[in-house]
Amino acid sequence: MPDRKSVFLELKSILETVPDLSGKVYSAYPKKKISLPFAIIKTPAYSEEAYTLDDSVYSYAYEYEIHIYAKTAQKVDELTDLVISTLRSSDVYNAQMSINALPDVEAIDDMEVYHVVVLTILLQW
């Protein structure tokens, strides 16, 4: 069973295979201004372990959020579809994967309008 950091690095590596996100996947919102599009992988504290009667662990679950930022709603939708298909076609440590997407939200930061979609990914072993 891989640790949370290894899974994070694997997800980052997979996301960076999406051409528009190559070199633009972060673990937190960038402090300096960068060009759109980009993605952020957040690791909420959620993790779950299931035990058998003899206290041996038989399954784990990690949850991650991927925030995809783009200039237009069309671009964020295109990237979301690409990211989902890329993740689904990837093998993340032989985990079962479920992905949920929150709708596109328009946001303003320093007077710049952009769009954000949040994907919640649950990986289970």
Would the pLDDT of 5 be above 90? Answer: no
Residue 57: which domain range? Answer: 4-124
> pTM of the prediction?
0.86
Q: Which of 5-9, 48-52, 85-89 has the lowest mean pLDDT?
A: 48-52
Closest CA to 97 of 66, 51, 56: 66
Which pLDDT band holds residue 50 (cuts at 50, 70, 90)? low
Q: Which CATH number fits the domain that encloses residue 59?
A: 3.30.2000.30
**Residue 49: what pLDDT?**
62
**Residue 84: what pLDDT?**
96
With a CB cutoff of 8 Å and minimum separation 6, the contacts of 9 are none
Tell me what the mean pLDDT of segment 107-116 comes to: 81
If you search the block for the tokens 């579809």, which residue do you land on?
A: 81
Q: How many domains does the chain have?
A: 1
- The gap from C-alpha 104 to its chain's centroid, in whole angstroms, comes to 15
* Phi and psi at residue 43, to the nearest 5°: -115, 90
